[in-house]
Structure 1
Amino acid sequence: MRKLPIDVTLPELKAVLVSQVNAVLVAPPGSGKTTQVPLALMDEPWLKGQRILMLEPRRMAARAAARYMARLLSEQAGETVGYRVRLDSCVGPRTRIEVITEGVLTRMLQNDQGMAGVGLIIFDEFHERSLQADLGLALALESQAVLREDMRLLVMSATLEAEPVAKILGNAPVIHGTGQIFPVETHYLERRITTRAETAVTQAIFTALSANTGDILAFLPGAGEIRQVQAELATGGIERFARVAPLYGSLPPAGQDAAILPGAPGERKVVLATSIAETSLTVEGVRTVIDSGLMRVPCYSPGTGLTRLETIRVSREAADQRRGRAGRLGPGVCYRLWTKQDDLYLEAKARPEILSADLASLVLELAAWGVTDPQALAWLDIPPAAAFIQSRELLCMLGAITENGSITGHGRRMAAAGLEPRLAHMILTAEELGIGGLACELAAILSERDFFQGENGIRDVDLRLRVEALRNPNYSAQQGAAIRRIKEYSKRLAQIFGLDDKQTAIDDCGLLLAFAYPDRIGQLRSDGRFLLANGRGAKISGTQPLGRSSYVVAADLDGEGTDSKVFLAAPLMLAQIERYFGPQIIEENSVVWDTAAQAVRSRRYRRLGALILNESPIANPEPAAAQAALLHGIALAGLSILPWSKQACQLRQRLLFIRQYESNWPDLSDESLLATLEHWLGPYIQGITSRGQLEQLSLAAILTNMLTWQQRQELDEYAPTHIVVPSGQRIMIDYSTTDNPILAVKLQEMFGLNDTPRIACGKVAVTLHLLSPAQRPVQVTRDLASFWRTTYFEVKKDLMGRYPKHYWPDDPWTAIPTNRVRPRSS
């Protein structure tokens, strides 16, 4: 067995774990911690023959690590060292070391909180901070504190910030290991790539093959990009130089081994990998790394409740991990397909998944553990409150937990399945209807990447087509590994839930999806556009038949824009909604103001979330509701919607005038009247439901009723409607400018009056608009005496020339007032 750098650190680690129950080990990539630490600790006395569980973030890494350790012991996996991952278990009665994925640990903890027979849990590559790793550590710490004080916890990583982890482990010791990383020559681009990333990677591979020796490891964001680069390399004649080996999570074990294990003597290998090859896995023979600088991560939006895979820039930490792969065996080379300038702006590290993931699974697991408040456990990062609350609401909708967060019997069955909660609920509900086999097929399809191509490369969104393809032997033969994987997972799900996997008609696909995604039941608005039960919009692109269905369920959509693009859906019938979602259907009466009709409209609706399933008119709405709707309509339209007669307008203006001087009088400003509609107008509109019927109101009488008896007596004294002028005529006062009432009167009618008429109990002089015989203002004044004294003679001179027949005396103080051309006596 060859010596590895971690060997130097093992004695210190062993010594620490003799006296401490928790520890943190930080050692560089390639130091051998993943495979050497479990083997070195397996026979420690404190283990007392108990098992070691080691968590790996990915299934491929778990299988590879177990097989490698088994080979070191000259055994097969499943003997001393085994593994447990989804859909694949290889352990035996003599197994002492189990390499497991993080979800498996959660199930083991839930099944036995005391973890009987387990002496050590190792959290490997913890720097990746997956949601399940954070949850597993929180539950393991709780188990240790309450039930298993003797159980050891060891957190290992190459790039971990050790202090925060050590703190939640009870200030555990931190052991720093050494590594042997050879220098790696790093190349950057002179300018940003203008081609597709796949083309840039292909070009870099051919450059590296001619410039360097050894195998090449190229990092790409996903399997689709890997297949594209494979095709471009084949077109370029790569087979003359090297063997191409893809490496991604859903690849069969044989394909993974072909990428990981050393090639034949003299053979060069080009491994095209996702970020799965950053850590844990050692790809033998690599001397050159080509980094696209991209990675694909799930991103959850609390606003939409959707998780989408997004392609993003790698972090500084991830980029350095990738580069380090070229320096495992000797000096290496790394080609980074970005510029030095762009390198300065890389994020330091990836964001922990718990801060940006769908927390439904976590909330369900905590409820199953007996925790309703996440702060009761130890976390490096507390789950975000908004996402936590939204996940609780979803689980309540699915019947998995109660409103206070306690788990239900149905929820326990969901959690025990170890499946995404929506899909677990779908299968359990389908079981009761005798269509569990179809539900398992759907869950398997939705858990994997979409394999369906359709005719002429057009990808129809109808999920039923995937089920038909899954059952079609000819189609299955074409798709190979993807179909086999889905079929195996479907059968495994049937076993987990104790179902037979008989195939039933695909007509119920939409119903089953509705059980999983009740918030994404969509109602047709227009061709291809739907309103979802959660209130968001969705669209089915093109002229697909499903885009004309009255109801659909969207299982997969992008959550972007006003109308999210639908990727997978199935049709649903209204009768199915009525039958199976009755408890969620709310019947409500709606009495609202219809702006277009200018009337109150009363309807009875049956609603599922934001969807109106049907409606009917209400002949006799409740009076209070009708009145509230009418008042709302008046508030929207403004006071102009009311029948303001000349009398009502003047009365309101008079009262507004008085209000300036007497604060105890009613406030009839627009703002006040609109704000108090219910109080002053409400009693008079009973039975009125339209603008036309409002015309019967007498606003003058309504406004008068707002006054006290005393105010009604004083109204004419404060704000008279008319003033009797010297000519004997009653002239109406214009209160339209409430701070400056106007008396418009012919000049000759005011002869003999020395002072300006006053109102408001003598407090305010009216503004006189003195008119010519043609009723045009010749003078505006609030000081009549001054006008007679200084200005009248100029006005007289001007008007006598234009109106010679009219009366223009020299002495306005003693002249006879008249509303005629001349006084009768003259």
Structure 2
Amino acid sequence: MIRTDALDRLPVRDALPELFTALDGRGTAVLSAPPGTGKTTLVPLALAGLIGGRPAARVLVAEPRRMAVRAAARRMAWLLGEEVGGAVGYTVRGERRASPATRVEVVTTGVLLQRLQRDPELPGIDVVLLDECHERHLDADTAMAFLLDVRATLRPDLRLIAASATGDTGTWARLLTSLEDGADPAPVVVGRGEGHGADAVHAPPPPGLRPAHGTWVDPGLLRHVAATVRQALDRHEGDVLCFLPGTGEIARTAGLLDGVDAEVLQLHGRAAAAVQEAVLRGGEGRRRVVLATSVAESSLTVPGVRVVVDSGLTREPRVDHARGLGSLATVPVSAAAAVQRLGRAGREARGTVYRCWSAGDDVRRQPFPSPEIRIADLASFALRAACWGDPSAAGLALPDAPPPGAMAAARSVLTAIGAVDEEGRATERGIRMSRMGVHPRLARALIDAAPEAGADRAAEVVALIGEEPPREYGDDLVEAWRRARRGGDAYAARWRAETRRLTAALPGPGGGTAPRGPSGGRGDDAVAGLVTALAFPERVARARGEGAFLMVSGTGAEVAAGSGLRGARWLAIAVADRPAASASARVRLAAVVDEGTASTAAAHLGRAGEEVRWEDGDVVAREVRRLGAVELSARALKDPDPGAVRAALLAGLRTEGPGLLRWPAEARGLRERLAFLHRELGAPWPDVSDEGLLGRVDDWLEPELSRARRRADLERVPVLEALRRLLPWAGGEAARLDELAPERIEVPSGSRIRVEYGGERPVLAVKLQEMFGLRETPEVAGVPVQVHLLSPARRPVAVTADLASFWAEGYHSVRAELRGRYPKHPWPKDPSAAEPTRHTKARQAARGASGDS
């Protein structure tokens, strides 16, 4: 019996006439309605003619998550007074509850994509409703693009609705616009109801907490969230729904809530189906605290909830395309997602949401979640696009174009596993892979391992990798496999169902099924290693220390302390992540392999040949066999290619700089003089900085560099002679070197004093008495030298670039201070007119000189 009262209370009912008018006129529409107003449940029933008197139609509702699929189908069946599988059914990967009588079928967007690729016309389907478009999941964006293509080319009668709980309707309206010239954007139908509403209360944590990074969250925030939950239980009636970023935070917060007068439940994508159903059924008299990830943000009504506690955090995927590693990043929840979370509190009555951040933080939040297409691994998307006939995805109506770098990385993977050809077009093998419902890497492993391992065992390992086991299963894939086989837990049940699905999806050579039982005499350890290595050949890794490994991709990897994998020689790594600011990846799940299996799986990365390079401060020449970055064997080369040796020496010079050569004083002096002239006069005087010298190696180090074979040969290069090759001989300017930048300057005493060119300006360090009588400061290349005037003991007593000013002003204080200390030396009152000398007064007198002392 239809529950009319419940249907009548759903506010979106008032928007149905406008929605039907839009669909009848344009065939497409955007439906925007706040959480809790019935867009996910009432609208599909009305579209199918199950309520409201519309003509009968078959409606497909696509949801981003399996939990939401089951929940939406159960809710609609309940509203009709039926069981799931009748007028309302659902399909998720590996599970289907539908019948010929089903008029509304709820599916995941992944299932929708599989159907579109098997038969793009979607025969028998009249309306497709893509729910929660605002979440920007990649599968949903892709399904939208494919559906628009189908409407434009095959099924103009197919009606399409993009449903969203946020106000970002413009993007979807533009995408749904007809291809007819001058057509306006698709109609936007707005549901005005707001459910029962909720009051937002900011409950910021105490100061001093560190921001989240990677998957790390400050324990202080979790303590604050737990305290806020306790406060909510004390102040309000009803159940509490608490949003946390991940399963680890859920488990830790559950521990902090020990002793509360309520049942504490943990809701996330990996929770057992029985737990999910218990949460969605509601409590039986006792209050509940539901700790949930973002899976509870949308399309779910958790009965009894009156209060939401929002940690303000969520998890987003990150991909290191260069290393082929994924990770999760903890980020502030977007403003749109915060609205979604708030809506959970007002589904059944007016509620309250406690936001664990300050009001000032609201304005700093991103308006919408990051589109998954910008941050995710795109291999599956790229294969779907190739199978759709658009390898570049340039012709697809996507809200955001895929990043070129991520698409290039995806195509590289697909080419390596034979899923696409050199032009990016899907091969027959690639089409088979795309229909298996797993990542192309796993499809490759399943197809290629089944003949050797048997379909059953290959499928079991692929299911284990694809349905990543709980952390408590450990990091040894073989042990996790055995535990899943024994286990009676929720994960084991899902794993067995996925294994059955994969086995059925695996065609044999003649179109039947592949051999099911053990094949090729391989044990479970060998099968686990083979399948993993085939799926992730770049992650095959060899030990390079206790617990440390090097992947053939060049990335380091570390196994946790206490792991049984630490002693392995080779690993095939199934699951790994690289924490923020870490040079090495953490191994989460791996299998032991031998070198033969590693080399076979990663054969496209194998190479052998001569290697001549600069390493550890000298030239190393070897014949090497490599598997990617991993060196398998090497032997010294007796007669390496001279060109390769020269290149290695040049690399050494660039790494260690010209200081690799031996620079005698004369060469250093010439380099400093040339640097001075280049700085003051420019061309044609050469740049002799490290960069300048390395940029002109051919001009000054030949033929010495070509004759050298090792570092010691470089140290014997006559650097002074080599450096003189850079002088501007062609134009004749080289002849003016001693004129423009002389090594020595003759001072009034007759001494020839060396000029130091190593500083910002030339320096002339000379005894003060030797400069008597000189009024003008000496110059080089038109630049006054900096005169360092020395005492008779050759200690600096004054520095000047203006001798005339020094004689007039500074000299008298120096004379007063030093004449008593050095009475044997002349200290005339007027040094500018005195006779210069290198000697004491006595020796000066003996030479027939006199001075006024």
Q: 2:581 matched to 1:563?
A: no
Q: Are residues 663 and 467 of structure 1, via their aligned partners in 2, closer, same or farther at CA, if it must alter by over 3 Å?
A: closer
Partner of residue 327, structure 2: 308
Q: Report the secondary structure of 2:472's partner residue.
A: coil
Partner of residue 430, structure 1: 449
| C-alpha contact (below 8 Å) 2:533/2:601 kept by paired residues | no
Partner of residue 514, structure 1: 533
For 2:305 and 2:670, locate their aligned partners in 1 and report how far apart those are by CA, in whole Å: 95
For 1:20 and 1:658, locate their aligned partners in 2 and report how far apart those are by CA, in whole Å: 78
Q: Give the Å deviation of 1:220.
A: 4.0
Letter in 2 for 1:538: A
| C-alpha contact (below 8 Å) 1:107/1:418 kept by paired residues | yes
| C-alpha contact (below 8 Å) 1:79/1:92 kept by paired residues | yes
Bigger drift between 247-256 and 369-378 goes to 247-256
Q: Give the Å deviation of 1:57.
A: 1.6
Bigger drift between 440-449 and 649-658 goes to 649-658
Partner of residue 81, structure 1: 88
For 1:640 and 1:526, locate their aligned partners in 2 and report how far apart those are by CA, in whole Å: 34
Alignment counterpart, residue 593 of structure 1, candidates 614, 622, 642: 614
For 1:531 and 1:809, locate their aligned partners in 2 and report how far apart those are by CA, in whole Å: 82
| C-alpha contact (below 8 Å) 2:225/2:311 kept by paired residues | no
Q: Report the secondary structure of 1:375's partner residue.
A: coil
Q: Are residues 31 and 646 of structure 1, via their aligned partners in 2, closer, same or farther at CA, if it must alter by over 3 Å?
A: closer
Q: 2:291 matched to 1:250?
A: no
1:38-53 alignment to 2 at 5 Å? 38-43=44-49, 51-53=58-60
For 1:191 and 1:662, locate their aligned partners in 2 and report how far apart those are by CA, in whole Å: 63
Q: Are residues 414 and 710 of structure 1, via their aligned partners in 2, closer, same or farther at CA, if it must alter by over 3 Å?
A: closer
Partner of residue 290, structure 1: 308
Query: Bigger radius of gyration, 1 or 2?
Result: 1
For 1:709 and 1:15, locate their aligned partners in 2 and report how far apart those are by CA, in whole Å: 87
Letter in 1 for 2:116: L
Q: Are residues 715 and 18 of structure 1, via their aligned partners in 2, closer, same or farther at CA, if it must alter by over 3 Å?
A: closer
Alignment counterpart, residue 501 of structure 2, candidates 485, 492, 500: 492
For 2:681 and 2:204, locate their aligned partners in 1 and report how far apart those are by CA, in whole Å: 81
Letter in 2 for 1:351: S
Partner of residue 787, structure 1: none
After superposition, the C-alpha distances for 1:126-145 in whole angstroms (9 at most, x for unaligned) are 22221111110011111111
For 2:656 and 2:222, locate their aligned partners in 1 and report how far apart those are by CA, in whole Å: 60
Bigger drift between 551-560 and 363-372 goes to 551-560
After superposition, the C-alpha distances for 1:663-701 in whole angstroms (9 at most, x for unaligned) are 999859566654332244323454431344457766677
After superposition, the C-alpha distances for 1:127-176 in whole angstroms (9 at most, x for unaligned) are 22211111100111111112221211111122242122111110111112
Q: 2:145 matched to 1:138?
A: yes
Q: 2:333 matched to 1:278?
A: no
Q: 2:194 matched to 1:174?
A: no
Bigger drift between 387-396 and 691-700 goes to 691-700
Q: Are residues 640 and 59 of structure 1, via their aligned partners in 2, closer, same or farther at CA, if it must alter by over 3 Å?
A: closer
Q: 2:49 matched to 1:29?
A: no
Partner of residue 779, structure 1: none
Q: Give the Å deviation of 1:314.
A: 3.1
For 1:169 and 1:550, locate their aligned partners in 2 and report how far apart those are by CA, in whole Å: 55
Partner of residue 690, structure 1: 710
For 1:157 and 1:218, locate their aligned partners in 2 and report how far apart those are by CA, in whole Å: 23
Q: TM-score, normalised by structure 2?
A: 0.76
1:643-654 alignment to 2 at 5 Å? none
Partner of residue 155, structure 1: 162
After superposition, the C-alpha distances for 1:216-272 in whole angstroms (9 at most, x for unaligned) are 44444444555556666664454xxxx6555433344443333223555x5655544
After superposition, the C-alpha distances for 1:551-594 in whole angstroms (9 at most, x for unaligned) are 32333233121223222222332232333333321234332335
Q: Report the secondary structure of 1:34's partner residue.
A: coil
Q: Give the Å deviation of 1:89.
A: 1.0
Letter in 1 for 2:571: V
Partner of residue 345, structure 2: 326
Bigger drift between 145-154 and 61-70 goes to 61-70
Partner of residue 801, structure 2: none
Q: Are residues 376 and 302 of structure 1, via their aligned partners in 2, closer, same or farther at CA, if it must alter by over 3 Å?
A: farther
Partner of residue 596, structure 2: 575
Q: Give the Å deviation of 1:88.
A: 0.5
Letter in 1 for 2:316: P
Q: Are residues 628 and 808 of structure 1, via their aligned partners in 2, closer, same or farther at CA, if it must alter by over 3 Å?
A: farther
For 2:349 and 2:293, locate their aligned partners in 1 and report how far apart those are by CA, in whole Å: 23
| C-alpha contact (below 8 Å) 2:27/2:160 kept by paired residues | yes
Q: Are residues 403 and 611 of structure 1, via their aligned partners in 2, closer, same or farther at CA, if it must alter by over 3 Å?
A: farther
Partner of residue 465, structure 2: 446
Q: Are residues 623 and 70 of structure 1, via their aligned partners in 2, closer, same or farther at CA, if it must alter by over 3 Å?
A: same
Q: Give the Å deviation of 1:417.
A: 0.9
1:321-720 alignment to 2 at 5 Å? 321-340=340-359, 342=361, 345-453=364-472, 460-471=474-485, 473=486, 476-477=487-488, 480-498=489-507, 499=514, 502=517, 504-560=523-579, 561-594=582-615, 596=617, 599-634=618-653, 669=688, 673-693=693-713
Q: Report the secondary structure of 1:602's partner residue.
A: strand
Q: Are residues 25 and 679 of structure 1, via their aligned partners in 2, closer, same or farther at CA, if it must alter by over 3 Å?
A: same
| C-alpha contact (below 8 Å) 1:293/1:319 kept by paired residues | no
For 2:743 and 2:92, locate their aligned partners in 1 and report how far apart those are by CA, in whole Å: 96
Letter in 2 for 1:676: R
For 2:626 and 2:568, locate their aligned partners in 1 and report how far apart those are by CA, in whole Å: 19
Q: Give the Å deviation of 1:103.
A: 0.3
Q: Are residues 534 and 801 of structure 1, via their aligned partners in 2, closer, same or farther at CA, if it must alter by over 3 Å?
A: same
Partner of residue 843, structure 2: 802
For 1:35 and 1:791, locate their aligned partners in 2 and report how far apart those are by CA, in whole Å: 104
Letter in 1 for 2:86: E
Bigger drift between 398-407 and 131-140 goes to 398-407
State the identity as a percent: 33
Q: Give the Å deviation of 1:107.
A: 0.8
For 2:100 and 2:615, locate their aligned partners in 1 and report how far apart those are by CA, in whole Å: 74
For 2:13 and 2:398, locate their aligned partners in 1 and report how far apart those are by CA, in whole Å: 31
Q: Give the Å deviation of 1:40.
A: 1.7
For 2:452 and 2:491, locate their aligned partners in 1 and report how far apart those are by CA, in whole Å: 29
For 1:141 and 1:716, locate their aligned partners in 2 and report how far apart those are by CA, in whole Å: 76
- What RMSD in Å do the two structures reach over aligned CA positions? 5.1
Q: Are residues 697 and 57 of structure 1, via their aligned partners in 2, closer, same or farther at CA, if it must alter by over 3 Å?
A: closer
Aligned positions, number: 771
For 1:312 and 1:657, locate their aligned partners in 2 and report how far apart those are by CA, in whole Å: 54
For 2:479 and 2:361, locate their aligned partners in 1 and report how far apart those are by CA, in whole Å: 44
| C-alpha contact (below 8 Å) 1:24/1:154 kept by paired residues | yes
1:228-267 alignment to 2 at 5 Å? 235-236=259-260, 238=262, 246-264=266-284
After superposition, the C-alpha distances for 1:329-379 in whole angstroms (9 at most, x for unaligned) are 333344444454555654433222223222222112111111122332112
Q: Report the secondary structure of 2:41's partner residue.
A: helix
For 1:313 and 1:653, locate their aligned partners in 2 and report how far apart those are by CA, in whole Å: 56
Unmatched 5+ stretches in structure 2? 178-184, 210-218, 508-513, 767-779, 783-830
| C-alpha contact (below 8 Å) 1:52/1:118 kept by paired residues | yes
For 1:709 and 1:41, locate their aligned partners in 2 and report how far apart those are by CA, in whole Å: 89
1:737-756 alignment to 2 at 5 Å? none
